[in-house]
Amino acid sequence: MAGIEAKDVSKRFGDVQALKGVSLAVAPGEFVSLVGPSGCGKTTLMRSIAGLETPDSGTIAIGGGDVGGLRAADRDVAMVFQSYALYPHLTARQNMAVPLVMRRLDAWRRLPLIGDLLPGTRAAKAEIAAEVARTAELLGIEKLLERKPGQLSGGQRQRVALGRAIVRHPRVFLLDEPLSNLDAGLRVQTRKEIVELHRRVGASTVYVTHDQTEAMTMSDRVAVMMAGEILQIGSPRDVYLDPRDLRVAAFVGSPKINAFAAEAGADGLVRVAGTPTGVAVAIQGALTFAARPEDIAPNAHDGIPARVEHVEFLGEAVLLHARVAGATEAVVARMDARRAGTFERGQSIRLRPDPARALLFDAAGKRIVARAVPLGLKEIALG
């Protein structure tokens, strides 16, 4: 198995800086997702690894060897595209066989009729057919091999595209938003299948998506990209619970994290709308106090004053949308439906974020250390 290492990769398209000195290391056999909004540079980074784009600067290595001077065809990388990129006039069997035919048969052996008369052609074709059959069995599409793409559903075409990549036994798999054309139910099923295939094949995999759910459920590690940079890379758990940048915290999670304009006084205590939060920091001045929806509870006695705007019943949970004075966005609190009370639109409530799970960010959006303290404490020692 081969790992991937990109160091200080930069790429510009005219006036647009698509990649800004990006570095990424993928261990052998690891599944890493690049996630971020459209235009953040994730596809450009993948295409640079594949050899479809040439970086302006930086290096890319696969299996410890620099591949900067190699053509895409010589990097032993398989890429699955969003559009599947299947040949419409070929059957599923023929589509899957294409990379092996191009690699194992020269131009003469690929000629109709004449090619079969040349020494070794029949044996090579038999090996190719066997490889395709084994891969089709792995993917559960043996009965679809004689159909053309137009006769297949979106999920079936996706499996054929995956099979065309797997049949080569490449060192690296690159998948560029492969599920975006599938409906919601089929996406859930197919992402499970891709993870299982990755475990069986064991090749290093880079998966590009703008769907954070895909990234969080499929990956060993997630790299969050924005504006041509990787803001943070870590396990799905770390990226969700321990974001190092406010942009990461805001992007990862649904509903999105709640962000409050806050102020840290000379005593270090953090207040939102003048209300103590039970959190202290070692700086003073303006900052951002953030809390996940599941870490905010309505409280009749104390907390941040708010007014109910909307209540969503999701079956197992209730999403309470409330407005804090001066805030541009509603606050969302997620509660267990069996324990949530009843709320009416326009009702005055108080919101109490869990101080032990609050996240604090400075004026530049960078994470700062915070400490939960007993409410009402006048002086605290910070260190």
Residue 193: inside a domain: yes
Nearest one of 236, 245, 206 to 80, comparing CA atoms:
206
pLDDT at 379 (0 to 100) = 39
CB 75 within 8 A of CB 46: no
**Does 275 lie in the same domain as 147?**
no
- Among 221, 245, 269, the domain-final residue is 245
Residue 56: inside a domain: yes
Q: What pLDDT digit, counting tens, does each position of 125-134 carry?
A: 889 999 999 9
**Does 179 lie in the same domain as 103?**
yes
Q: What pLDDT digit, counting tens, does each position of 198-208 carry?
A: 888 888 999 99
**Does 159 lie in the same domain as 293?**
no
CATH number at residue 124: 3.40.50.300
pLDDT at 261 (0 to 100) = 93
Residue 197: inside a domain: yes
Instruction: Provide the β-strand partners of residue 286.
Output: 263
**Does 149 lie in the same domain as 17?**
yes
How far apart CA 16 and CA 12 sit, in angstroms, is: 6
Instruction: Provide the β-strand partners of residue 310.
Output: 321
Decide the pairing of beta strands 204-209 and 172-176.
Answer: parallel
How far apart CA 76 and CA 167 sit, in angstroms, is: 12
Residue 360: inside a domain: yes
Does 83 or 332 have the greater pLDDT score?
A: 332
pLDDT at 363 (0 to 100) = 92
**Does 261 lie in the same domain as 122?**
no
Residue 374: inside a domain: yes
Tally DSSP H helices, then E strands, for the chain.
9, 22
DSSP string, 314-357: -SSEEEEEEE-TT-SS-EEEEEETTT-----TT-EEEEEE-GGG
Q: How confident is the model at residue 340 (pLDDT cuts 50, 70, 90)?
A: confident
pLDDT, averaged across the chain? 89
Q: How confident is the model at residue 151 (pLDDT cuts 50, 70, 90)?
A: very high
Sheet holding 229-234, edge to edge: 77-80, 172-176, 204-209, 31-35, 221-226, 229-234
Residue 179: inside a domain: yes
**Does 141 lie in the same domain as 68?**
yes
Q: How confident is the model at residue 375 (pLDDT cuts 50, 70, 90)?
A: low
The residue segments making up the domain with residue 168 are 4-245
Nearest one of 87, 45, 80 to 201, comparing CA atoms:
80
261: which 2 tokens?
């304009």
pLDDT at 192 (0 to 100) = 86
Query: Before 255, cis peptide (omega within 30)?
Result: yes
3-state secondary structure of 82: coil
- Is residue 378 scored above 60 in pLDDT? no
Nearest 5°: phi and psi at 191? -65, -35
Domain count, the chain: 2
How far apart CA 254 and CA 212 sit, in angstroms, is: 9
In this structure, the number of other CB atoms found within 10 A of the CB of residue 97 comes to 23
**Does 148 lie in the same domain as 240?**
yes
Average of per-residue pLDDT across 351-376 = 90
- Among 245, 267, 291, the domain-final residue is 245
Q: Is the sign of the CA dihedral 135, 139, 143, 144 positive or negative?
A: negative
- Among 245, 271, 294, the domain-final residue is 245
How far apart CA 150 and CA 157 sit, in angstroms, is: 9
3-state secondary structure of 190: helix
How far apart CA 278 and CA 324 sit, in angstroms, is: 18
Nearest 5°: phi and psi at 169? 55, 55
**Does 208 lie in the same domain as 297?**
no
**Termini Cα distance of the chain:** 46
CATH number at residue 331: 2.40.50.140
**Does 263 lie in the same domain as 228?**
no
**Does 211 lie in the same domain as 96?**
yes
**Does 296 lie in the same domain as 228?**
no
205: which 2 tokens?
């995999």
Find where tokens 């969003």 sit: 82
**Does 120 lie in the same domain as 62?**
yes
Q: How confident is the model at residue 115 (pLDDT cuts 50, 70, 90)?
A: confident
